[in-house]
């Protein structure tokens, strides 16, 4: 299956993670956030738009994953406020437990923006990462200025 990531050109040469904390991971947990569609990946970045610098070139990364490597979170088991910033610490605990357990290479989570759609978090420190996660294609990505 294909998933998508949009990033500045300087980060597009290889699949890597910064280790910065986010909704589903703590600091120094090296994961790559991807979306199941280009449009969802775009919306996710727009939601965090303080990091978008439209004067810099962006790339769209198409990444191939194997479905058997995916563990899906049950949205019904998440706290009622899981979409809010106040739930970050709880969600980071869930993601951190997954990251360190290596139960799966990929964690499928609902998008906080569109819960009916999914993001895929890739554990770059998983033993199968290099063998099973493939950067298939990188192309230019142009921002529609109406979004920003």
CB 141 within 8 A of CB 60: yes
Distances in whole angstroms, Cα of residue 69 to Cα of each of 109, 142, 143: 14, 31, 32
The reported pLDDT for the residue numbered 48 is 79
Strand 31-35 relative to strand 58-64: parallel, antiparallel, unpaired? unpaired
The reported pLDDT for the residue numbered 58 is 94
The reported pLDDT for the residue numbered 75 is 93
CA dihedral 97, 99, 103, 104 (to 10 degrees): 140
Residues of the chain with pLDDT under 70: 50-51
How far apart, in Å, do the first and last CA atoms of the chain sit? 30
The reported pLDDT for the residue numbered 53 is 79
Contacts of 28 (CB under 8 A, 6+ apart): 19
Distance of CA 67 to the CA centre of its chain: 16
- pTM for the whole thing? 0.94
Query: What is the Cα–Cα distance from 73 to 77, expressed in whole angstroms?
Result: 8
The reported pLDDT for the residue numbered 69 is 96
The reported pLDDT for the residue numbered 74 is 92
């Amino acid at each position: 299956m294909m998933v998508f990531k949009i990033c500045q050109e300087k980060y597009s040469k290889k699949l890597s993670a910064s280790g910065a904390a986010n909704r589903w991971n703590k600091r120094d947990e090296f994961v790559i956030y991807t979306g199941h569609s280009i449009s969802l990946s775009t919306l996710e970045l727009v939601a965090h738009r303080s990091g978008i610098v439209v004067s810099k070139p962006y790339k769209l990364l198409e990444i191939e994953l194997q479905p058997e490597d995916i563990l899906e979170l049950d949205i019904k088991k998440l706290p009622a406020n899981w979409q809010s910033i106040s739930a970050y610490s709880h969600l980071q605990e869930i993601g951190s437990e997954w990251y360190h357990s290596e139960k799966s290479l990929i964690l499928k989570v609902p998008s906080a923006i569109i819960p009916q759609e999914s993001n895929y978090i890739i554990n770059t420190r998983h033993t199968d990462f290099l063998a099973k996660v493939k950067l298939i294609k990188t192309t230019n990505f142009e921002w529609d200025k109406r979004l920003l």
